[in-house]
Structure 1
Amino acid sequence: MQGWRQRGSIWQLRPSWPKGLVEFIGGTYLAATPQVSYKRLLENLCEADLAIHAWTYIPGLDHQGQARDAWMAFRQSRRQLEDRSGTLLSPLRLGHSLGCKLHLLAPDGGRGDHGLVALSFNNFQADQSIPLLKEIAPRLGIKTEFSPGPQETLRLIARSYVQERNLVVSFGRDELDQSDDLLQALRQRARDSTEFLRLPGDHLTPASAGLRRNLLGAWADDPKRVSIINRLTQIICQWAS
């Protein structure tokens, strides 16, 4: 496995001979440094011979625009990888929290991927995700919301997202998870084979092991969380095959 390299807005981690590709978008603020925040999960996947392309971004209000930016960056990086390694299977898209929403809003509606694994889908209003907005916006006499907002996002998924193959994953103690809303939108479509999985853990389970290991060393790993991430790795690998 090669070390992490950044090419534009994509952090890349590649095995010597990749047999597949995972395109990853993380959650709010964690996604600024995916190579650190999601270290264990992404490196586990790379050890299973999956190339990792992780988009780095700072969340904004224009989620549709950010979804387009991510999709274009992934396309460019995928072409570069295939120029070097040969044609691969269509990529598996993997998202955590807000990252799920951005994948679901991709301009191709999921046509260009092998499926989506959505971890801890989150679709809050702007003033719930950014508490300061709730105080500042009324004082400035403005209304501020994500574009698209929560309800429009669900309508777009039901109407325009065409990928049938999805795995929605939630964690038992996750108070931020809105996977039920996502499942309802996906299952409104005429053709759908979405599956649902609930694992132990909380909203930060996909990320926290990597953060603690980077900051405190291997001794700080929580064996329970490591076990969950190892199980999650196996599940994602099966979906990527």
Structure 2
Amino acid sequence: MDIAYDDFGAGEPLLLVHGHPFNRSMWHPQRDFPGWRVITPDLRGYGDSPVVPGMTLLSDFANDLAELLDKLGIERVVLAGLSMGGQIVMEFSRLYPERVRGLVLADTSAQGETEEGKRVRNETADRILSEGMVAQAEVLISKMVAPDAEPAVVEHVLEMMRTTRPEGAAAALRGRAERPDYVELLGELAVPALVVVGSVDEFTPLPDAELMHDRLKDSKLVVIDGAGHLPNLERPTEFNAALGEFLESVLSNH
């Protein structure tokens, strides 16, 4: 699939994978890391990329990213993903371990979907198709960011959610309802990793981050104080400091 993307800077490749229901503008504060070529795609069904109705599995997203890297002539990459993006990063690591140089897992979870989770995701997909994304955005915003988030950040998050096309969002929700458990996989990965979580994240709280940190062989856990589910937007200075330190360590160790 020919997905939309931005390509910033030059140097070692860093691929940033957005969450649901967002787009590549989510990574605006992370576009400039000296010495790194920062690539931010719109996943299928989101932003400027084509919409494929029905069900989009995490493996579909991962294969799209591999195809994009092939197109760009990139063999190995540091992969960073937030929320659903983190699960896509884990699926990419399962399918293409030889292409992963380092992992950043932000505000995400490795556990497989529960039966209750499957029901809720499929019901939400149905509701999005019937009611649209504007209503869904109003429901989600209070859980997406901390109560004291900057108004401009809140508006950016709302705009991304409101403009996501219902067919794409619903297809991704149905696919995530079928997601496997990645906990065992994390224990098999031999690359350096950074696990980041907002201290007041309601969707993927600290215990989810601690589980991933414990399973990974070579990882650092960073908790962003006062941030909700989107610390890269809510606390970009702290998030970028953690990411920058990790990227430096990847360069120095490889």
The residue that corresponds to 2:178 in the other structure is: 149
Find the aligned partners of 1:69 and 1:156 in 2 and give their Cα distance. 24
The residue that corresponds to 2:100 in the other structure is: 113
Q: How does 1:148-227 map to 2 (within 5 A)?
A: 149-150=178-179, 152-154=180-182, 157-158=185-186, 162-177=189-204, 180-181=207-208, 184=211, 187-188=214-215, 192-200=217-225, 201-207=227-233, 225-227=235-237
Find the aligned partners of 1:240 and 1:167 in 2 and give their Cα distance. 10
Find the aligned partners of 1:180 and 1:199 in 2 and give their Cα distance. 14
Find the aligned partners of 2:59 and 2:240 in 1 and give their Cα distance. 32
Find the aligned partners of 1:78 and 1:194 in 2 and give their Cα distance. 28
Task: Provide closer, same or farther for how the CA distance between residues 179 and 62 of structure 1 changes in structure 2, counting only shifts above 3 A.
Answer: farther
Q: Does 1:25 align with 2:17?
A: yes
Find the aligned partners of 2:232 and 2:101 in 1 and give their Cα distance. 21
Aligned-partner residue type, residue 162 of structure 1 = L
- Aligned-pair CA distance for 1:165: 1.7
Aligned residues: 192
The TM-score normalised by the length of structure 1 is: 0.64
- Aligned-pair CA distance for 1:127: 4.5
Find the aligned partners of 1:155 and 1:230 in 2 and give their Cα distance. 26
Task: Provide closer, same or farther for how the CA distance between residues 179 and 24 of structure 1 changes in structure 2, counting only shifts above 3 A.
Answer: farther
Task: Provide closer, same or farther for how the CA distance between residues 37 and 145 of structure 1 changes in structure 2, counting only shifts above 3 A.
Answer: closer
- Aligned-pair CA distance for 1:203: 0.8
Residue deviations 1:68-87 (CA, integer Å, cap 9, x gap): 222222232234xx9xxxxx
Give 5+ residue unaligned stretches, structure 2. 47-54, 129-172
Which secondary structure state, in structure 2, belongs to the residue aligned with residue 9 of structure 1? coil
The residue that corresponds to 1:14 in the other structure is: 8
Choose the corresponding residue for 2:242, options 221, 232, 238. 232
- Aligned-pair CA distance for 1:109: 4.4
Which secondary structure state, in structure 1, belongs to the residue aligned with residue 14 of structure 2? strand
Residue deviations 1:108-167 (CA, integer Å, cap 9, x gap): 44322221011111466345456524769xxxxxxx9536735x32356257x5343211
Choose the corresponding residue for 1:74, options 69, 76, 87. 69
Which secondary structure state, in structure 2, belongs to the residue aligned with residue 51 of structure 1? strand
Aligned-partner residue type, residue 26 of structure 2 = S
Which secondary structure state, in structure 2, belongs to the residue aligned with residue 21 of structure 1? strand
Task: Provide closer, same or farther for how the CA distance between residues 202 and 68 of structure 1 changes in structure 2, counting only shifts above 3 A.
Answer: same
Residue deviations 1:91-115 (CA, integer Å, cap 9, x gap): 2111111111111111544322221
Find the aligned partners of 2:245 and 2:100 in 1 and give their Cα distance. 17
Find the aligned partners of 1:148 and 1:63 in 2 and give their Cα distance. 10
Q: Which has the larger radius of gyration?
A: 1
RMSD after superposition:
3.4
